[in-house]
Chains A and B, each alone.
Chain A
Amino acid sequence: MAAADQTAGASAALERNGRAVLRRRELLLAGAGAWLARRARATDAPSTAAAAEEILGALPGKRPLIQHAFRPPNFETPLGDLAAPFTPNDAFFVRYHLAVIPWVDTASWRLEVSGASARQSLSLSLEELKSGFERVSLAAVNQCSGNRRGLFSPRVPGVQWGNGAMGNARWTGVRLRDVLRKAAVAPGALEVVFSGADSAVLPQTPPFVKSLPLERALDESTLLAFEMNGEPLPHWNGAPVRLIVPGWTGTYWMKHLIAVRIEPKAFDGFWMKSAYRLPTGAFPGTRFLSQETPETTPITEILVNSLIVTPLEGARLKRGEHAEVAGKAWDGGAGIAAVEVSVDGRRSWREARLGRDLGRFAWRDFRMPIDTARAGPLAIAVRARSRNGAQQPDKLTFNPSGYHDNIVQTVNVEVA
């Protein structure tokens, strides 16, 4: 169904590296006849005038999302659409770096597996990938490295994401490990390098290519996924196959995957050497040693974090009526041990009730009743603790690219 829609929308076919015929749709005119809507942005301080309004736009197959950029498409999931245990496919955030995005023809798509450290090259059709390896499903949060960049203080350049450059989905595919084993990893392999079908407008622009340490590529949770929440992957989330790296930020989750290379050397492209990097030693998490320098290191795992979905900032709660604080907590794969809630400006904390455990890479629902017996303002803060002992900090660790904002958030409401 989705594939048929995509094919119908295609306007041109092009040969790409002689491997697969890809259908491309001209994005520039895809929005003809569109409507835009603007609304107040609840998560921003009123003083930040430029971010005071947000634009909603709906890509084909998507419901209206917060439009940060039309081309390349960068669309954020509104807070209300983050309430469900699994984020609906048509509400899931969209993030691209480069503007030439083909509508991939699944019938002619092939995955090329090769490289200097692959003893054997493979070329797999979608059918061969689906039938040739054990099928695996897991729930995992996909969170952009720059989620919440727009909330950074001081402000930093980049897509000014609020809280919704993330979502939780059930991903189904095959283990990358099983595919790499079929290609036979040679001794001395160091990194696995991933390329997608999307590309830049200008030939001089560095292609979006990412690598993983071999051990992370061989981890049993790293998948080549072709389904999301039981449906074929939506176009805007990487159809027909994308990489799933549970626990690591979205930058590694290569969409429209077409090539996997096993290499004995550290990949030196722009998107590894210059982008998605943090000051070395500033944050906890797995170190990507083959890409680390004394100054900077690649971002890797998602830090322990939480999100208040309800109540909204500025909400008025009726005195004496039932009310609750509810939201999500997640981390890089240890799993959530506890979520604490404060309604008195972080002076005292109580443990919230946790929802169903969907797996250690998924987010965990939490909820706690709010006492509305007395009128007045409430400052509701939430902090999550990971099973590895990590807890959300109060203070932001500044970094120039605006990554890893996992500080405790506060929502101010009024009981009246």
Chain B
Amino acid sequence: MRRAARTLAGNGVVLLALACGRAWAAGAAEITELKDAPGRDLTVGRCIICHSVEYIPSNAPAMNRAAWQKTIQKMRERFGAPITDAEAQQILDYLDANYSGKS
């Protein structure tokens, strides 16, 4: 019923990812589950420095590779996200492969 707390190695951040089939909510929790594919842990690890990752699946219908590239660039250049060039490439590949819903 309840998923165990998961530690994201390298970030020292403990996230409580609780999910349950209850019909009504009595709290709110950070969603950290993204599709399990190469690049996921890096993507989650960098994005959650500033924001939870619900934005990624919810924005998928509006995104393609070019849009993800623009978003990653905005996060790095405008918002100061500490992401190296090599990491940006891996994050782009992961997001494009798993969350590009726009034709």
Q: Are B27 and A48 in contact (CB under 8 A)?
A: no
A-B contact pairs, 11 of them (CB 8 A): A28-B13, A32-B16, A32-B29, A34-B18, A37-B24, A50-B58, A67-B31, A71-B52, A75-B28, A99-B51, A157-B67
Within the complex, which residue of B29, B48, B58, B101 is in contact with A57, where a contact is CB–CB below 8 Å? B29
**Beyond A28-B15, A72-B51, A99-B51, is A57–B28 a contact (Cβ under 8 Å)?**
yes
Within the complex, which residue of A36, A50, A56, A70 is in contact with B57, where a contact is CB–CB below 8 Å? A50
A: which residues have CB within 8 A of B?
28-37, 48-51, 55-59, 64, 67-73, 75, 98-99, 150, 154-160, 200-206, 270, 274
B: which residues have CB within 8 A of A?
13, 15-16, 18-20, 22-31, 48-52, 54-55, 57-63, 67, 71, 78-82, 101-102
**Closest chain B CB from A162 CB (angstroms):** 11
Q: Are A36 and B19 in contact (CB under 8 A)?
A: yes
Q: Are B59 and A56 in contact (CB under 8 A)?
A: no
Q: Are A71 and B80 in contact (CB under 8 A)?
A: no
Q: Are A31 and B51 in contact (CB under 8 A)?
A: no
Interface contacts (Cβ under 8 Å), in number, total: 132
**Closest chain B CB from A152 CB (angstroms):** 8
B residues within 8 A CB of A36? 18-20, 22, 25, 28-29, 31
Q: Are B51 and A202 in contact (CB under 8 A)?
A: no
**Beyond A28-B30, A35-B18, A205-B50, is A58–B62 a contact (Cβ under 8 Å)?**
no
Taken together as a complex, chains A and B put the C-alpha atoms of A50 and B61 apart, in Å, by: 7
Q: Are B29 and A206 in contact (CB under 8 A)?
A: no
A residues within 8 A CB of B82? 202
The 8 closest A-B pairs by CB, nearest first: A204-B80, A34-B27, A57-B28, A31-B29, A155-B62, A64-B25, A34-B29, A71-B52
Q: Are A206 and B78 in contact (CB under 8 A)?
A: yes
Within the complex, which residue of A33, A71, A201 is in contact with B30, where a contact is CB–CB below 8 Å? A71
Q: Are A205 and B30 in contact (CB under 8 A)?
A: no
**Closest chain B CB from A378 CB (angstroms):** 29
B residues within 8 A CB of A67? 28, 31, 54
A residues within 8 A CB of B30? 28, 31, 70-71
Write the chain B residue with the least CB distance to A203: B80
Q: Are B57 and A204 in contact (CB under 8 A)?
A: no
A residues within 8 A CB of B25? 34-37, 56-58, 64
Write the chain A residue with the least CB distance to B57: A50
